[in-house]
Each structure stands twice: as structure tokens, then as C-alpha cells.
Structure 1
Amino acid sequence: MSQVTLADWASMPRNRAEVADGVLVMPPSLGARHQLAVTRLAYWLDGRLPALAAVELLIAEEPLTLRVPDVVVTSLTDLNVPRVSPEDVRLVIEVLSEGTVRTDRVTKFSEYAEVGIEHYWIVDLDAPVSMVTYRLVDGEYENFGEHTGKVSLDFDGVPLTLDLNALTTRYAQRP
């Protein structure tokens, strides 16, 4: 099988597929709990910062590596884009699900660091719902905190208070 190029990718129907080093990767189906958590997180963040859910992130063009993070906070003012570049991304958030743990904690962890994405947060929906925040320091991600319950963070001068438990409850927090 030949490697997938960006031109090949552009002609394919859109779904949650990704490309890693030119190879098409089909992630596992996402459960309803995962989808609701991502929707709630993106909605909540978008009330404070420009956030997008499931937007394509072009890691490398040759060989093509294209990821679809759960949530991206961007520096772009026009959010009607088919994909973003690492230089436009301020934060990537991945919500762990069965079948993505290794990819999110190892593969994407190193890919995002290599392209200079400054902030990477990983949310684990298993009880108790938790989040680990990483920040790029000298080209490597450093753990900047492990959180459960209500989290108060300062993200580039924007104070954020996030109730992680609200990501998995019926009544999501509002901006």
C-alpha cells in the first residue's frame, strides 16, 4: 500500500481517521460518554478561548502525519478552517478512551512536543475524572499538575475554573 499524501487525504471523505507517517489509522469508535465530554469541554472553553473540537492538525506533510485531537485551543481568529498547523495551536486536549490510551499518552505526546505545541492536557474519564496538564519546557513536556474535581488554572493570562466531574454528568457547566 502506498503512503497517503495530503492530496490523497483531501480527496477522502471526512471522518475521525488520522494519518501517521503516511499510513491511514482508524481510531476506535468513541463512546457516548467520550463524545459528550469532548462536546462539553469544547463548549465550555469556547466561552473563554477560541476552541475547536475534532479539527484536523497537520503535524507533518512528508510523510503525512495528520491528527484529529479532541479539543484544540487556537490563536486563529477565523475558526472556519479545515485544519490547523502547529504554530496556530496553543493547547491540545485529548480525552482518553478505550483504545486510545497509548496513542494519547505516548505517540501524540511526543508528536505534539516535537512540533512545539506548548500545552497538552490529557483528561481521563474513569472515576475520579482527572486531568494532567503538561507544558513544553526546553522541547520536552513537563507535568504542571494532576487535577480532580474543580480545577483553577491560569492559561496564558485567562483564569479558568473547570469542574471535571461536570464532563460526565448530565448537566454540563455553562460559560
Structure 2
Amino acid sequence: MRDLPRQSELIDGALIFAAPQTRWHSHTVSLLTAELRRQAPEDLDAIHGMTVRLDERQAPATDVVVVTAEAMRRERPDHYFFPEDVRLVVEAVLPDSAIRDRDVKPRRYAAAGIKHFWRVEQDDGRTIVYVYQLDPATGSYVPTGIHHDRLKLTLPFGIDIDIDLTSTGTLRRPPGPA
């Protein structure tokens, strides 16, 4: 998949090409990548837009992924990670990717044994993060929290992120009626 356009992914053996990004999506992915990199312990790192090769028919492109520092240093392969490298996957939902980000990808990530998954959505201008953890008994994700404005967690490591993009100045609300 190295010679395909950026943000191409393989889902159930079919190539999927992503639609153009929105400003909200771009700002959200940038903020989460930067904060996860800054707050991650030394043995972990975060990167955006990388593929996780789950198996021969599944190589989804992630919005943000937290992986081992060892995986980041590995020379080959340099264009995807393996499930065992991954500690967290983050998907920011857009209208054209909603079914994949809410249903298809989480099921594939869980089946591959990735322990932590976040789904990020926008509702009436607010960013909401839905946090999931893998239940080892069922092999499925279970919700552990819904976060508005601030994301404060202890797993997969200590995290404290202001996700209100309007208060951080990343996105500004349009001025109200005068």
C-alpha cells in the first residue's frame, strides 16, 4: 500500500480512499497527536495518519495511534505498525467515515487485541471523546467514559487534555448576533 494515495486503507479486502479533511478533524487530530506525544511515557510515542496492518485483508489508516518507542525506531516496515506495537488507536469521526469509525474499525481493532480505543466526535461545535477498553473475556470494547471539554485518564497512561477546541483557540466559534 506504499504507492497508494495518503489516507488509503484496506478494510475487508477493499481499498478505501478518504475524503478531504475538515478543519475540525485536522485541528482535533493535531491537538491529540501533540498532547499524546507530550504526555506519553518514554517507552511510547504518538503519530497521526499511520496504518495498522491487522492481517492480510485489514490495514486501516488511523487518525492517531500510540505505539511503542521501539516500533517508532524500527526501520522496516516504516509505513505501518503491527497490532502488538499499538497501545491506543484514536479515530475522529467524519460523516463519510462514520460507519467505519463507529463500527467496522473498532471491531477489527478489538479482534486484533488492541487494548484501548477512542472515538472522537463533534456535536454542536463541541468535541466529545468516547473512551473504550478491551474486555479480555469477550474480545470486544466496553465503554469506560464519555468526555466533554477535558479528557483526564489514567489508562493507557496518565493523560490530561483540554479538548474544548474553542477555549484553546484552535477553533473559534463564529460571533453571535450583535
TM-score, normalization by structure 2: 0.82
Question: Are residue 133 (structure 1) and residue 124 (structure 2) matched?
Answer: no
Amino acid at match of 1:165: D
User: 1:14: Cα distance to partner?
Assistant: 3.8
What is the CA–CA distance in structure 1 between the aligned matches of 2:93 and 2:158, rounded to whole Å? 24
- The corresponding residue for 2:36 is 45
Q: Secondary structure at the match of 1:121?
A: strand
- The corresponding residue for 2:22 is 31
The structure 2 residue matched to 1:102, chosen from 74, 96, 99, is 99
- The corresponding residue for 1:163 is 162
- The corresponding residue for 1:6 is none
Aligned residues: 160
RMSD: 1.9
What is the CA–CA distance in structure 2 between the aligned matches of 1:168 and 1:16, rounded to whole Å? 29
Q: Is the 8 A contact 2:27 2:170 kept in 1?
A: no
User: 1:167: Cα distance to partner?
Assistant: 7.5
User: 1:169: Cα distance to partner?
Assistant: 4.8
Q: Secondary structure at the match of 2:96?
A: coil
Deviations 1:18-58 (A, max 9, x none): 11222211122211221121011101110122101011110
Structure 2 stretches lacking a partner, 5+ long: 172-178
User: 1:168: Cα distance to partner?
Assistant: 8.0
Percent pairwise identity: 26
Q: Is the 8 A contact 2:116 2:134 kept in 1?
A: yes
Structure 1 stretches lacking a partner, 5+ long: 1-8
- The corresponding residue for 1:67 is 60
